[in-house]
Amino acid sequence: MRSAEDVARLLGHGADKIGVNSAAIARPELIDEIADRFGAQVCVLSLDVKRSPRTASGFVVTTHGGRTETDRDALEWAREAIERGAGELLVNSIDADGTKQGFDLELVRAMRELSSVPVIASGARGPHATSRPRSRQERMPCSPHPCSTTES
């Protein structure tokens, strides 16, 4: 997604939500344009995040599937994107993705703490996902907002 016109085209073909990542990093006002024209519920900020000592939070935003680090602190970028109108955060830990060791719970919790919008944890399915079903009490709490996960 590089423009509001791209979003309009996809919505016109039946999409309900649109994910933005690299284009929003390059041009943050894209989030404002999408939210202003179509509503925050349409705009999902996709964040590919790595741990990094270079940022205050310890997490840096990456592009190109995690191969290129930006100078953006992931938590600050998430906060800015929400202020601009992102309606959801899709958070993928590049460090955990594909390892089958589970989600980076520290990252998910940090995003949840700052977010006023739903946080979706993506990737890094661990052994727990294929074992016995867990009780409601064993699941990671996501309140006050609903949250979901996608597994890879």
Domains of the chain in start order, with CATH, are 4-150 (3.20.20.70)
The mean pLDDT of 73-80, rounded to a whole number, is 98
Give first-to-last CA distance, the chain, whole Å: 22
Each residue of 92-146: pLDDT tens digit?
Answer: 999 877 666 778 899 999 999 999 999 999 876 655 544 444 444 444 444 444 4
Strands (E), the chain: 18-20, 43-51, 59-63, 68-73, 88-93, 119-122, 148-150
Q: How far is CA 23 from CA 14, 20, 146, in A?
A: 22, 7, 27
Q: Peptide bond before 144: cis, by omega within 30 degrees of 0?
A: yes
Each residue of 25-65: pLDDT tens digit?
Answer: 999 999 999 999 999 999 999 999 999 999 999 999 999 88
pTM of the predicted model, to two decimals? Answer: 0.80
Residue 87 is encoded by which pair of tokens? 């309606």
pLDDT of residue 104: 86
